[in-house]
Structure 1
């Protein structure tokens, strides 16, 4: 069951870099860290399925559930997460500029595919 926080971040806890990034976001969040719940996609498959997200889709992209129950994915999810962390608010703003998001999305999707293939976990 997802935590009752401002946002719940569904992330790949089997990914060493993803775990490292989580720790970094938690550290940078400071007093706001309690407002961000971190949920392993492998352990919360049912909650994701109830939102229409299967395991393969969850592995391919970051998903965030808002307190209102809305599910946001990909670069938009990263932007929402960064907007909750005072240090990263300027980055969230930058990501929102026209023309930036499509390029970042392509880079992110390519990185995830390479990472999962290297780990032998790319969904078929």
Structure 2
């Protein structure tokens, strides 16, 4: 059985906004994967590299590009591993992992791993770029 705070959060969630780096080939692949899945709530996907995309006033583009952010019900923000937990919990095959990531010690560990990933992301992006044909 889920703890009370998780059940309450699930009950209240009726929309999710995902702010992602559309300039990152790894991010694009992941977002495209999730966009193709059926989610429990409507999800708005906001590519931060689209300079015409309107951002909420309390979220600046540089901070949002530095770590993935999600906004629940138009007001509550999550970033890093907590953002992934909120996103993953909306998809059938990812739900259990998303719920596990919401447990504070697991979230803390996952956030440290995400921070490490962000440090090596530029090198990984080079591998993920499509090779140019001569």
Instruction: Provide TM-score, normalisation by structure 1.
Output: 0.75
State the distance in 1 between where 2:20 and 2:116 align: 17
- CA change 1:20–1:118 in 2 (3 A) is closer
Q: Which runs of 5+ in 1 are unaligned?
A: 120-124
Count of residue pairs brought into register by the alignment: 111
State the distance in 2 between where 1:33 and 1:116 align: 32
Instruction: Provide TM-score, normalisation by structure 2.
Output: 0.70
Partner of 2:50: 43
- What's the C-alpha RMSD, in Å, of the aligned pairs? 2.5
Larger radius of gyration: 2
Q: Which runs of 5+ in 2 are unaligned?
A: 1-13, 126-134
CA contact (8 A) 2:41 2:90 kept: no
